[in-house]
Each structure stands twice: as C-alpha cells, then as structure tokens.
Amino acid sequence: MGRRKLVVGNWKMNGLRAQLGEVEAIGAAAAAHPSVEVGLCLPATLIASAQAVSGAAFVGAQDCHMKDSGAHTGCLSAAMLAEAGASWTIVGHSERRQDQGESDADVAAKALAAKAAGLKVILCVGESLDVRDAGNAEAVVSAQLLASLPDGAAADWLAIAYEPIWAIGTGRIPTMEAVEAMHRALRTALGGRIGAADAGGMRILYGGSMNGDNAAELMAIEDVDGGLVGGASLTAAKFAPVIAAAG
C-alpha cells in the first residue's frame, strides 16, 4: 500500500536532561534512514529541551487531557503539549487504561482534543493474556478499536498501535502468525468504519517487546507499518537497529 513506516519510542516514566544526548543520537539515526518516520514520545518535562536537539526525529507526548483547560490538577492539555514542542501524542496506552481507569470514550475524546490542538495521534489497543488464551483476542481488540476510534479518523493524523498487554516489557511476543492475523483484523475493522480505501492508508504499529532482534521480522508482515517501542528506545544503541530494520 506504500505506507511509510513509523517507528516511535515510548520512554514512559524514564528520562532526565542527562539523557538528551541519547535523543540527539536517535535523531541522527533517524536522519540516516529518511524513508522511515521516527519519533520519541517523552515525559512532558523533556519535550521542550528534546525538541531542540532531536533533529530528524519528532518529539511527542505520552498522553493528553480531553479538556482544553480547567480544574484538572496535574494534567496537561494538548495545546500545552503542542506549545512545548510536541507534534504527536499517544492516547489509550494500556498502562493508562489499567492504572488510570481510562475508558474507550476517554481515549476517543483525548484523540479529538489532540487533533484540535494540531497534534497527530497514536491510539493504542490490545488484549490481556486471559483474552488471548480464551481465543477472543481479535474480536475483543477490534471492538476496543472501534469504541476508541474518534470521529473523523483519518490516516493523515491518526495511527493505531496494537500492543498485546502481556507482551509489554516481558520479552514475550505473539507468534508472527498471530501478529499478522491481529493486524489484518484491525484493518478490516477500520475498513468497516472509515472505508476500505482510507483504512488501507492508515498505519498500524506493533507494540510489545519490539527490539533490534525481532523488528525486521515483525515489520516484514504485510499490515505491520512500524513499531511503538518501549525499553529498546531508551538508548540510541538499542533503538537505531529498530529504525534500520524499518528502512
């Protein structure tokens, strides 16, 4: 389909100014592979300083609030993140769905708020091990995607990340056949909502223990359009091979 690969690091609650050298080195790795779109979703405290040194890699946020402003202590609006230098944000990551109790409706509202502030969005979906073992993964995750999908979803501002929750940070991944089946199911679900042509242009990333050893095999799968990478994105030495695998 000619979809440009998108490889994004999610630093989660990691990173101080001492790590800005890694951001700069990852930007250099991104510049060496211009066919790949590369980004880092960083703690909000690093966005402004990282944006100044990230070079060819965009800087994104890890979440945003669905409101523009108000009495929401500790939260950040999409406009605040954009002003700090973010151009993308993650919404609906499993750790926020689980730890903060975010609903599908919350995720859709956050995606729309991000779009209104000029941010592009990576919308995360995924299943627990119980769901996977019960044989319901594709149906459950497809339903979660459709319930989380914002109005006006389009490939020019939205990407989807499939992250099997049980694989995040564990080193375990589904079989390649299972990844292929899930990504195909998600594209089919998107097609039913936004039309086959638009769904064909939307990037669907794989998240869940992607690293330099497995990235090439994962991204060779037809409907895998890149990766949302956790621990392997914290250093250029580990992230650069993932970027290269997408090139």
Q: Is residue 169 part of an annotated ligand binding site?
A: yes
The closest of 185, 48, 64, 50 to 127, measured between CA atoms, is 185
Distance separating the N- and C-terminal Cα atoms of the chain: 16
* 177 catalytically annotated: no
Q: Is residue 209 part of an annotated ligand binding site?
A: yes
Q: Is residue 69 part of an annotated ligand binding site?
A: no
Cα separation, 115 vs 124, in Å, equals 16
Q: What one-character DSSP code corresponds to residue 174?
A: -
Cα separation, 51 vs 33, in Å, equals 19
Q: What one-character DSSP code corresponds to residue 8?
A: E
For residue 148, the one-letter residue type is S
Q: Is residue 214 part of an annotated ligand binding site?
A: no
Which of the residues 65, 95, 163, 183 is marked catalytic? 163
Q: Which tokens hold the place of 105?
A: 């409706």
* 163 catalytically annotated: yes
Cα separation, 207 vs 201, in Å, equals 19
Q: Is residue 230 part of an annotated ligand binding site?
A: yes
Residues with Cβ < 8 Å from 182, sequence gap 6 or more? 137, 138, 141, 162, 164, 174
Q: Is residue 11 part of an annotated ligand binding site?
A: yes
Which of the residues 65, 93, 102, 183 is marked catalytic? 93
Residue 160's DSSP bridge partners are 123, 204
Q: Is residue 231 part of an annotated ligand binding site?
A: yes
What are the binding residues? 10-12, 169, 209, 230-231
What are the binding residues for substrate? 10-12, 169, 209, 230-231
Give the active site residues. 93, 163
